[in-house]
Structure 1
Amino acid sequence: MAKKVVATLKKEGGKAYAKVIRAVKSPKTGSYTFKEEIVALDAVQDTLKG
């Protein structure tokens, strides 16, 4: 699946995108889950802050 996502994100004339993966700690169990988002390259810092 990763190859398909990368191939569709690299179209000519489109915006540059990045895949952001964050580890989020559960308050109940203390275990970590991973949240994946595909965001525009210029919005990566804003996504990581929020």
Structure 2
Amino acid sequence: MAKKVVATLKKEGGAKYAKVIRAVKSPKTGAYTFKEEIMLEEDAKKALSGN
């Protein structure tokens, strides 16, 4: 499934997108859940660097 999503995001001449998957810890239970987002490549680099 991920291969299909990535392949459709790589269209020539368009904006470059990236799929970002983050582990988020629940403050209530302490369990980790995964949050998936599709965003611009530049925004993804900023989000992953922590800024």
Indicate whether the TM-score tops 0.5: yes
Gaps spanning 5+ residues in structure 2: where?
none
Q: Distance in 1 between matches of 2:21 and 2:27?
A: 19
Q: CA deviation at 1:7?
A: 1.2
Residue in 1 that maps onto 2:18: 18
Residue in 2 that maps onto 1:33: 33
TM-score, normalisation: structure 1 = 0.79
Q: Distance in 1 between matches of 2:22 and 2:40?
A: 16
Gaps spanning 5+ residues in structure 1: where?
none
Q: CA deviation at 1:28?
A: 1.2
**RMSD value, Cα:** 1.6
Q: Distance in 2 between matches of 1:14 and 1:22?
A: 25
Letter in 2 for 1:7: A
TM-score, normalisation: structure 2 = 0.78
Q: What is the percentage of aligned positions where both structures have the same residue?
A: 73
Return structure 1 stretches of 4+ with deviation > 6 angstroms. Answer: none
- Equivalent pairs counted in the alignment come to 49
